[in-house]
Amino acid sequence: MATATAISPELQAEERFVLRGVDWNAYDAIRRALEDHPTRLSFDGRDLELASPSPIHESYSSMFGCLLRALALELGIEVRGGRSTTFRRQDVPRGLEPDDCYWIQNEPAIRGKVDIDLSVDPPPDLAIEVEISRSALDRLEIYSKLRVPEIWRFDGESLRILRLQPEGAYLETDTSGCLPFLEVAKIVPFLELDPEVGETSRTRQFVEWLRECFPKGRP
């Protein structure tokens, strides 16, 4: 498990509110009412959490996006990003918005689609969870019900890779199933927030590192 710089409690503050005893119809109505607002919803079939991400949370999410898109461009990998799209299934019933997500292996299956329906379309191959503060709900269980194959969890200090097992549990591993050639732990230094180095400069440094690791391009 790789580590990065610790974050002060003041920077970690996020607003979270949980509604207990919520059914699918209530969840769907609240979701539609808030769809133009930045509030993130997590629904586990019983309870609904509403969260307002902090600036530090969004900074990490943005940096993940910079790095993963730079990797895709540099190595010629077709990906589709989903950002914080709402993923939900009434038959489960579960729903949430990841901090960031990508179709990689399944990118051809959803290429060009305007609407994505998890009852027929594959979920993202990779979801990013920035956990500056921990959700009151079991988001892993929600991801499991939605059948998301892989999750990267980053808490500002460590990055963990979790891969979905056939029985429905997530197992922590050292290697990514989505990007098996990448030593994921080595991207942690590029995620560190540095008042002297901006996102563009860190992304450029990451690209230079990629070129050293993969001098012939795509592995």
pLDDT per position as a tens digit, 188-200:
999 988 888 899 9
- Structure confidence by residue, pLDDT tens digits, 119-137: 899 999 999 999 887 788 9
- Structure confidence by residue, pLDDT tens digits, 61-114: 999 999 999 999 999 999 999 998 999 999 999 999 999 999 999 999 999 999
* pLDDT average, residue stretch 195-209: 93
Cis omega (within 30 of 0) on the bond before 195?
no
Contact status, residue 183 vs residue 198, Cβ threshold 8 Å: no
At the topology level, CATH places domain 2-213 in tt1808, chain A (3.90.1570)
Nearest to 145 by CA among 69, 93, 183, 75: 93
% of the chain with per-residue pLDDT over 70: 92
Domains of the chain by residue range: 2-213
Q: What is the pLDDT of residue 131?
A: 87
Q: Residue 129: beta bridge partners?
A: 153
Nearest to 129 by CA among 202, 209, 60, 39: 60
Helix and strand numbers (H, E) in the chain are 7, 12
> Burial of 31 by CB count in 10 Å (0-12 exposed, 13-18 middle, 19+ buried)?
middle
Three-class DSSP category at 50: strand
As given in the structure block, the two tokens for residue 72 are 């895709």
pLDDT band at 13 (very low <50, low <70, confident <90, very high): low
